[in-house]
Amino acid sequence: MTGQPYWESAVDKQIREAQERGDFDNLPGAGKPLDLSDSGDPDWWVKRFAAREQLDLAGALPGALGLRKEAAGYPESLVDVRTEAQVREIIEGYNKRVLADRLRPAVGNLPPLIAKTLDVDEMVQRWRPLREALEEQQRAARDEAAAARAAAQQPRPSWWRRLLGG
């Protein structure tokens, strides 16, 4: 006998052949101990997967927590919105979702989480200076680009004038 088992499953055969070819040599983490620092957490594998794949789990939050997180980003997340009417529409839509979330039945023994509605006028007032600052930055960038284009389009003196310093 050659030291191989008499009967070998197809999977065992593939693993043995891969080892013989050296497919498992020099893998990342080879020879290093396993990181078991969070093995006491029952959701360790989900957290590692989300971190490794750089997933945003904000959509996995329960309704009220997701709404609270969304509200915490206002008005900074609305800077790219161009008009006051659109900002009002977004905040009113948020408030409607908060009220709809309050109508859902509570699940479990814990008291229900409640997200607060937002004052539309206050959000618009907080949005205005942020939007003005963004528009000023964009205006300055456009002016710099226009100045650079104008400088690049100016005709250069002929080589003869440059040579004579004239």
Tokens 């969304």 belong to residue:
70
Q: By C-alpha distance, which of 98, 83, 99 is closest to 131? A: 83
pLDDT over 80 (residue 14): yes
Provide the 3-class DSSP secondary structure of residue 27: coil
Domain membership flag for residue 127: yes
Domain membership flag for residue 46: no
Domain membership flag for residue 100: yes
Domain membership flag for residue 164: no
Q: Which two tokens stand for residue 81?
A: 């919105």
pLDDT at 97: 93
Domains identified in the chain, total number: 1
CB 115 within 8 A of CB 71: yes
End-to-end CA separation in angstroms for the chain: 96
- 3 confidence band (pLDDT: 50, 70, 90): low
Domain membership flag for residue 124: yes
Mean pLDDT of the chain: 86
- 120 confidence band (pLDDT: 50, 70, 90): very high
Single pTM value for the model: 0.59
For residue 100, what are the domain limits?
A: 82-105+120-152
Domain membership flag for residue 142: yes
Domain membership flag for residue 41: no
Domain membership flag for residue 4: no
Q: CB count, 10 Å around CB of 26?
A: 8
Rg, the chain, Cα only: 31
